[in-house]
Structure 1
């Protein structure tokens, strides 16, 4: 089942990805948000905190709650701090 993932870092970055593999979606989110965080100018400790407290919980939910919702034909969203991710089934 193909789905679309859209994510936003408040006031920083918005992007999207379309595919059919929830693990790949999580990896893409990790890579793209990680790049944005690395280029943000935050101190290394702040970057580690962001990845641990905001990115990891949402990323990990994609393959669990996100997958369950999309496979049932429903949208799913997850947010932590300034990160918002939405999965929607493709028509």
Structure 2
């Protein structure tokens, strides 16, 4: 079991718990995207935000996060105003 938590500085905090890190990454991406999409930013700013902040965190979760969690270790990654952390749950 994995617990994944994330925060957008001064905006939004959320979490997900489950067994599949790929599903967790998809949930993180979808929920953060929903917040960004409704933020009122211009479309080009939303795209920049996704590319610069969201994509690096999700990609790291899928790669380094998967390896860390498989070893029973914690994982975290920050990019700009986005911070995500994952930990194994017994």
Bin the TM-score by the shorter chain: over 0.9
Aligned residues: 90
Distance in 1 (alpha carbons) for counterparts of 2:15 and 2:65: 15
Aligned counterparts, 1:10-49, within 5 A: 10-49=9-48
Which sections of structure 1, spanning at least 5 residues, go unmatched?
none
Deviations 1:40-70 (Å, cap 9, x if unpaired)?
Answer: 1111111000000100010011111001111
Tell me what 1:8 maps to: 7
Runs of 4+ in structure 1 deviating by more than 6 angstroms, as ranges, are none
CA distance in 2, matches of 1:84, 1:75: 14
TM-score (norm 1): 0.96
Show the counterpart of 1:66.
65
SS at match of 2:10: coil
What is the TM-score when the length of structure 2 is the normalising length? 0.97
Give the match's secondary structure for 2:40. coil
**Alpha-carbon deviations, 1:20-45, whole Å to 9, x = none?**
11111111011000000011111111
In 2: Cα distance, 1:9 partner to 1:47 partner: 14
What CA distance in whole angstroms lies between the structure 1 residues aligned with 2:75 and 2:88? 9
